[in-house]
Structure formats: C-alpha cells, structure tokens
C-alpha cells in the first residue's frame, strides 16, 4: 500500500510520500516513492508513485532513458520537457508504453495494471503546477478550489485536508497538515509506514526549500502524532453525552 | 452508499445506520436500513444492511416470511431462532437463498451480489452478541478486543472508533463516539446522509433503551458536529509548525 499527497498553495508546493511496499502482508519493504528531478534555478519536478512497484519503476526508468518522439526523433524526458503540461503528457505516454509491453503478460497472471502518479513542480517563467496521472495515462490538474491531490490509500487522510487546507495556507502550515493526514493514514492502514519523504518547493524559486526524510523516532513528527492524539481524545471527551431518552 | 456501525460494550449494544440510498448520483432516496425485531423482555434483535437495496430487502422479507428448514419443515425466522448464533446462520442462509434465485440474473446484468449485514441483540438468558455477515452468508462475531463492527463506507469513521472505543466505555459514551464516526463519514462521502437511525440496548433488558431517528437540524447532533469541527480546528492550530530547515 501507499499514501502520497501533493498540496499546491499560493506560496508553493508540498509533496509527501510514505515508503512502505508490500507483496503480500508477509513481504514488506522500504522503497522510495518520491522522486525529484531538479536543475536548480531552472526547474524542479517531483513524481510520487502508487500501485504496482514494478510498473511505477518501469515508468520512471523509461522517462529517465527518454521516450523517442515518433515525429521529431527526440528523446523526451522530464528534464527536457518545455512545459509542466507536456511533462505530464510524457508521464502518461510512458505509462501507455509500459502497458503496451507489460500489460498482456500481467493480465495473464491476473495482475491489474495498477499505477498512479502525482506530478508537481515548476519550470522557470511558468506556473507551479500539480497533476494526478491515472493508469490510462490521462490526468487531472490541481486547482485553487481543492488545493491537494492524493494517490494510494487516500480516505483516512482526506478529512483533515478537507477541513484545514485552502489555497492561502502558509507553506509549512500546509506541510504540517499533510503530515497529520499521513499520521491518520498510518494509524489505520499498516500498509502505509515510515520513513516519510517530504519535498517543499517555494513558488518561483525552482529549487527545493526542503528535501527531507522523516525517520522513525524523529522528535517533531513523534510530537505531532502525540499532540494530535491527545487533542482528539480531549475533543471527544468535551462533547456532551447524547440527551436522548428511552423511545424519545 | 451506506454507513452502519455496531458497538458492543459491557453495558450493552449500540447500532447506528444512515438512510441514504442511491441508484447513481442522480437518484438519491431515503430508506430505513436499521430493522428491529423485538419481543420486549424476551429478545431484541437488530439488522443493519449495506449493499444492493433490492438484495437486502429480499433477504429481510425472506427472513420475515420464514425459510423452511429442509429437515424439520419448520419455518425459520429471527424471532423463533433458539440462539443469536443460529439467528445469524439463518440470515446467512437467507442470503444464499436470495443469491440462488437472483444471483445469475444479476450477473447477466453485470451487477455484483453485494450485500452485508450487522446483526446484534440478545435473547433472554444468553449473551448480547454482534455479528457481521458477508455476501457469502458467512460471518464474524464482535469480541472485546475490537468492540465494534462496520459495514458500507467504513474508512472515514474508523479512526475515531479505533482511538476512543473499548469494551468498558459507558453505553451512551459509545453512542456519542458512534455519532462522531457517522459525522466523519457523512462529511467525506455524500452517499451517506441524514436521517440517522439509532438503537441502544442495555445488557440483560431485552428491550430498546433508545429507538430514535436523528433528523436533519436536530439540536444535539448539530451541536456535536460543530463542536467536533471546532475542536479539530483548534487541535490542528495548536500543533507547532515543522522546524525543518532547507535541505536539513
């Protein structure tokens, strides 16, 4: 399982991904799911992946080697994409390319072609953008009305985002909310786990403001988890009991 | 969509069910999903249903008419079941009976045989019990370690139950937690909605302590929702911002 969340606010972009993978409950490993493509000052892009690890890794390797454009003959990668939109299209094409070569064999083994990506970043002179890319290679873009996108196990971590996230939230407040969302997910699904990779990018800087891995036992995240738990307990206790009477 | 939750604590049983049904997003209705079978002082049983409404209603009608026991010829219903375990088995048999007569035709229309039930209650002289019954007619029973069961859209409402529910919680505290769980679900899934039906049964009474419908605008539930929202907002604000520094 996986949980990744991308948040796009006025001040910039936050991307958060866990690192737990499992091939059955009896085969759990740690793999990085947040991949950063950076030419400081010119462009920064990040891809977070969910779904079948063999597929997502193949898509990323295909993008790193470059996918030949049939018209121009150019090897297309993320780092030479002219715009974020065209870069998202390239991820879509890479997914379709992998599906064309692997899909049939996976289907024969009853394995779904299950993969999805968050793709965020900024190219100098253009807007910061965030996309969610589906297994068919199509995608949607994050807008100001709902300034976040999620892939993987999204339900447990969605309520706190719905309540607290809006476009004007300060960048590190957005990171905090994203971490609470990750905490809620980890508590309810053991398929999502530490360490957590975090990327924070400030608008118009085209470089990472923070590229950090939160390991188990890290004091701030540990404190965030205990405070959130204690506050929820208190919130719960402070609500009065139902006043309903028998057959009321 | 549906959310139903059953909670079994030392003091008794709480069952909560929403009433929203939908055949597509453009066809939303209100149907009771919490059904009570009561012979006050002798037995009280409640069935909450999720899944395909035609199937769950057929199962309940089959149980009300009685399913003939091929060995004894007796018409078996919930009200003449000797034990809660045997009553749960009868629900399972009714599901299989409906599947045998309807399943093929549904499959031809690409409709899943999707139905599940919570079944709780007590027969005089025996224990209060709570079961979750699957589409195949098999079932699990609630135990003290995890004193609740859910059907339908269970994820949004699970975290608060995991944090706050244990076997020694007072009965109306359990109801309160169940209502917070329902609130969390309704906020994140518009397929779950008011009114909410609630049943509270005290251990060894074999009658309803509370059999209540919470309608939209009811003051206590409205207050619970605002208090929970405000407390979550405050909890969130009181957590310090991440102290991480650039490339820390």
Residue B184 has pLDDT above 70, yes or no: yes
- pLDDT tens digits for B30-52? 999 999 999 999 999 999 999 99
CA distance B81 to B60: 15
Identify whether A245 is part of a domain: no
- pLDDT tens digits for A2-41? 999 999 999 999 999 999 998 877 888 999 999 999 999 9
Residues of A in contact with B177 (CB under 8 A): 236
DSSP-assigned states of every residue in A86-137: HHHHHHHHHHHHHHHHHHHHHHHTT----EEEEEEEEETTS--EEEEE-TTS
Tell me the pLDDT band of A112, cut-offs 50, 70 and 90.
Answer: very high
Facing residue for B164 by CB, picked from A208, A236, A241? A236
Map residue A59 onto helix, strand or coil: helix
The whole-number pLDDT of residue A248 equals: 45
The whole-number pLDDT of residue B147 equals: 97
Kindly report which listed range (A79-88, A128-137, B187-196) carries the lowest average pLDDT score: B187-196
Q: Check: CB of residue B195 under 8 Å from CB of residue B212.
A: no
The whole-number pLDDT of residue B6 equals: 98
Identify whether B247 is part of a domain: no
| B226 CA to centre of own chain | 24
The whole-number pLDDT of residue B122 equals: 98
Write the CATH number for A94: 3.60.20.10
What mean pLDDT do residues B5-25 have? Answer: 94
How many structural domains compose chain B?
1
Kindly report which listed range (A23-37, A51-65, A136-150, B133-147) carries the lowest average pLDDT score: A23-37
The whole-number pLDDT of residue A25 equals: 78
Identify whether B16 is part of a domain: yes
Q: Check: CB of residue A2 under 8 Å from CB of residue A51.
A: yes
Identify whether A244 is part of a domain: no
CA distance A235 to B159: 14
* Gap from B71 CA to chain A (nearest CA, Å): 40
CA distance A226 to B8: 27
Q: Chain B: residue nearest A238 by CA?
A: B227
Identify whether A243 is part of a domain: no
DSSP-assigned states of every residue in chain B: --EEEEEEETTEEEEEE--EEESSTT-EEE---EEEEEETTTEEEEEEEEE-HHHHHHHHHHHHH-EE-TTT--EE-STT-SSHHHHHHHHHHHHHHHHHHHHHHHHHTT----EEEEEEEEETTS--EEEEE-TTS-EEE-BTTB-EEEEES-TTTHHHHHHH--TTS-HHHHHHHHHHHHHHHHHH-TTS-S-EEEEEEETTT-SEEEEEEE-TT-HHHHHHHHHHHHHHHHHHHHSPPP---TT-
Q: How many CB pairs under 8 A join A and B?
A: 134
Structure tokens that stand for B37 in this block: 């079978």
The whole-number pLDDT of residue B31 equals: 95
**Are A235 and B239 a contacting pair at CB < 8 A?**
no
Helix segments in A168-218, DSSP class H: 171-188
The most confident of the ranges A21-25, B20-24, B240-244 is B240-244
Residues of A in contact with B227 (CB under 8 A): 235, 238-239
Q: Check: CB of residue A216 under 8 Å from CB of residue A194.
A: yes
Q: Residue B9's beta-bridge partner residues?
A: B12
Identify whether A246 is part of a domain: no
Q: Chain B: residue nearest A245 by CA?
A: B210
CB neighbours (10 Å) of residue B86? 13
Residues of B in contact with A235 (CB under 8 A): 227-228, 231-232, 234-235
Q: What is the DSSP letter of A226?
A: H
What mean pLDDT do residues B157-173 have? Answer: 94
Three-point CA angle A206, A211, A214, nearest 5°: 160
Mean pLDDT (chain B) is: 95
| B183 CA to centre of own chain | 14
**Is the bond into B195 cis (omega within 30 degrees of 0)?**
yes
The whole-number pLDDT of residue B218 equals: 96
What mean pLDDT do residues B192-204 have? Answer: 97
Identify whether A75 is part of a domain: yes
**Are B231 and A233 a contacting pair at CB < 8 A?**
no
- pLDDT tens digits for A203-218? 999 999 999 999 999 9
CA distance A168 to B110: 45
Instruction: At A212, give phi and psi (nearest 5°).
Output: -135, 145
The whole-number pLDDT of residue B13 equals: 98
Q: Residue B120's beta-bridge partner residues?
A: B46, B130
Residue A247 has pLDDT above 60, yes or no: no
Identify whether A11 is part of a domain: yes
- pLDDT tens digits for B82-128? 999 999 999 999 999 999 999 999 999 999 999 999 999 999 999 99
- pLDDT tens digits for B59-87? 999 999 999 999 999 999 999 999 999 99
**Are A188 and B158 a contacting pair at CB < 8 A?**
yes
* Gap from B19 CA to chain A (nearest CA, Å): 19
**What whole-number percentage of chain B has pLDDT above 90?**
92
- Expressed as residue numbers, the domain containing A102 is 3-238
Residue B247 has pLDDT above 80, yes or no: no
């Amino acid at each position: 399982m996986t949980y990744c969340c991308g948040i796009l606010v006025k001040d910039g972009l936050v991307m958060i991904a866990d690192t737990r993978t499992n091939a059955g409950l009896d085969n759990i490993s740690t793999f990085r799911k947040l991949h950063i493509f950076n030419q400081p000052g010119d462009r920064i892009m990040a891809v977070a992946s969910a779904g079948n690890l063999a597929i997502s890794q193949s898509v990323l390797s295909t993008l790193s080697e470059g996918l030949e454009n049939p018209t121009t003959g150019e090897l297309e990668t993320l780092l030479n994409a002219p715009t974020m939109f065209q870069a998202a299209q390239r991820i879509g094409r890479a997914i379709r390319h992998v599906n064309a070569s692997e899909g049939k064999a996976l289907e024969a083994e009853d394995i779904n072609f299950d993969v999805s990506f968050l793709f965020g970043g900024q190219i100098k002179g253009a807007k910061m953008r965030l996309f969610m890319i589906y297994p068919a290679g199509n995608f949607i873009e994050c807008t100001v009305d709902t300034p976040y996108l999620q892939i993987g196990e999204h339900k447990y971590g969605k309520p706190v985002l719905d309540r607290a996230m809006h476009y004007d939230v300060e960048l590190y407040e957005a990171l905090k909310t994203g971490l609470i969302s990750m905490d809620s997910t980890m508590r309810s699904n053991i398929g999502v786990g530490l360490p957590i990779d975090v990327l924070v990018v400030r608008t118009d800087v085209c470089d990472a403001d923070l590229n950090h891995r939160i390991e188990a036992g890290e004091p701030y995240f540990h404190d965030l988890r205990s405070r959130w738990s204690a506050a929820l307990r208190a919130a719960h206790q402070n609500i009065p009991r139902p006043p309903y009477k028998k057959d009321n």
